[in-house]
A = this chain, B = another copy of it.
């Protein structure tokens, strides 16, 4: 294994004090899938009638658990549901054996918890291409089921970590129709490490009532504005999974509530930012704000081209307000741009406009901004109303250290 890095300098102070979500219970166990001396399996069991939505990696080489979840999504929200996640082994690129492992695990969860196997969703994260020792998980299922409790979400966040340097979670409570509706989510991700890959797993729970179709539409829409707007290194895991479960236990239908959608968006964005903040080797958190594009899609294309450019990311690491590299990234993105209409800001400092460096630009102003830990690069294309915001981190020696280390 590559070296385990210490807690990211961009990490929040600690795991948040998440509100309890009625209708979902958690348990974790140390099954020894690969790691020793830590929990590595989490089980979440959701009450009868829970709506389940999901968004998964688009990879053409996605893992067996992802394929299984996708096949099950959209089924009738009858009876309880369950999610089982293991860390240490991703069960990816494991041939037909991978499907067998998924089947063995889901059957066992169904057996001990009384959840129909079509409502058991799984995920695996860790080493790729090695058979998953599913027996180790199966033999712990009674223990897991006995330990289920509504207040164990933090334990769940810790059990799914691989090389994350901190456990990730976010929550919110809002008042709707005189009742409290709660949202809480956990995630792991962006601690990629040889021989693993950048897998992001996110599980969000709410006690709101939201019909399944509406829940799926909401999740897909908000994923595009949050998790699909972050990038660490442009690589895509074969296991990325994002699931949203609405237990309905609050008794409040929030399907059409803008306040609920906004609170959910904020929880998702908070978690997405935490994933970037745990990017391998990251020392800077960067918001890239694109306006004036020909369309929102063009704005996102430009934003991601800037966010993924190794030359931009190394300039950020070097605290260099190198706007020429931003111009380069815009130029190569493929989306519409006019060199002479562009303007670029680093923080509050106008750097370039009218196809050239701004006449009032003083490099020391932009350089001062680059010394911070949270940076803003703002680009206006001057073409239309399209806008997008994306988030990334810098590219440092730490990334090379983590990913170029030989497996042992």
Residues of A at the B interface (CB closer than 8 Å) are 57-62, 92-97, 128-130, 192, 194-198, 233-238, 308-311, 314-315, 317-320, 322-325, 327-333, 335-340, 342, 352, 354-357, 395-397, 399-400, 403-407
Which 9 residue pairs spanning A and B have beta carbons closest together?
Answer: A61-B331, A59-B331, A318-B404, A95-B356, A128-B324, A314-B403, A236-B332, A60-B337, A95-B355
Q: How far apart are the CA atoms of A352 and B129 in the complex, in Å?
A: 9
A314 CB contact (under 8 Å) in B308, B322, B333, B400: B400
A234 CB contact (under 8 Å) in B310, B324, B335, B400: B310
- Chain B: CB-nearest residue to A67: B339
Beta-carbon contact of B233 and A331 below 8 Å: no
Beta-carbon contact of A61 and B327 below 8 Å: yes
Q: How far apart are the CA atoms of A62 and B342 in the complex, in Å?
A: 13
Beta-carbon contact of A197 and B94 below 8 Å: no
Determine the chain B residues whose CB is within 8 A of the CB of A403 once the complex forms. 310-311, 314-315, 318
Determine the chain B residues whose CB is within 8 A of the CB of A93 once the complex forms. 324, 327, 339, 352, 355-357
Looking at A130, A317, A324, the one whose CB has the most chain B CB atoms below 10 A away is A324
Determine the chain B residues whose CB is within 8 A of the CB of A330 once the complex forms. 60-61
- Chain B: CB-nearest residue to A395: B400
- Chain B: CB-nearest residue to A319: B406
A327-B238 contact given A337-B60, A356-B129, A406-B319, CB 8 Å threshold = yes
Determine the chain B residues whose CB is within 8 A of the CB of A396 once the complex forms. 400, 404
Determine the chain B residues whose CB is within 8 A of the CB of A356 once the complex forms. 93-95, 97, 129
Q: How far apart are the CA atoms of A59 and B334 in the complex, in Å?
A: 8
Determine how many copies of this chain the complex contains.
2
Determine the chain B residues whose CB is within 8 A of the CB of A324 once the complex forms. 92-93, 128-129, 195-197
Could you tell me the distance in whole angstroms from the C-beta of A366 to the nearest C-beta in chain B?
11
Q: Is the interface of A mostly helix, strand, loop or mixed?
A: loop
Q: How far apart are the CA atoms of A399 and B400 in the complex, in Å?
A: 10
11 CB < 8 A contacts A-B? A61-B328, A61-B342, A94-B355, A94-B356, A128-B324, A195-B320, A195-B324, A233-B311, A235-B311, A235-B325, A310-B310
Q: How far apart are the CA atoms of A235 and B395 in the complex, in Å?
A: 14
Determine the chain B residues whose CB is within 8 A of the CB of A406 once the complex forms. 318-320
Determine the chain B residues whose CB is within 8 A of the CB of A315 once the complex forms. 194, 403-404
Could you tell me the distance in whole angstroms from the C-beta of A16 to the nearest C-beta in chain B?
30
Determine the chain B residues whose CB is within 8 A of the CB of A399 once the complex forms. 310, 314, 400
Could you tell me the distance in whole angstroms from the C-beta of A90 to the nearest C-beta in chain B?
8
A327 CB contact (under 8 Å) in B128, B329, B337: B128
Seed contacts A61-B330, A314-B404, A320-B407; 6 additional CB < 8 Å A-B pairs? A62-B339, A129-B323, A233-B311, A235-B309, A236-B328, A318-B406
Q: How far apart are the CA atoms of A237 and B309 in the complex, in Å?
A: 12
Beta-carbon contact of B331 and A236 below 8 Å: yes
A310-B194 contact given A356-B95, A400-B400, CB 8 Å threshold = no
Determine the chain B residues whose CB is within 8 A of the CB of A357 once the complex forms. 93, 129-130
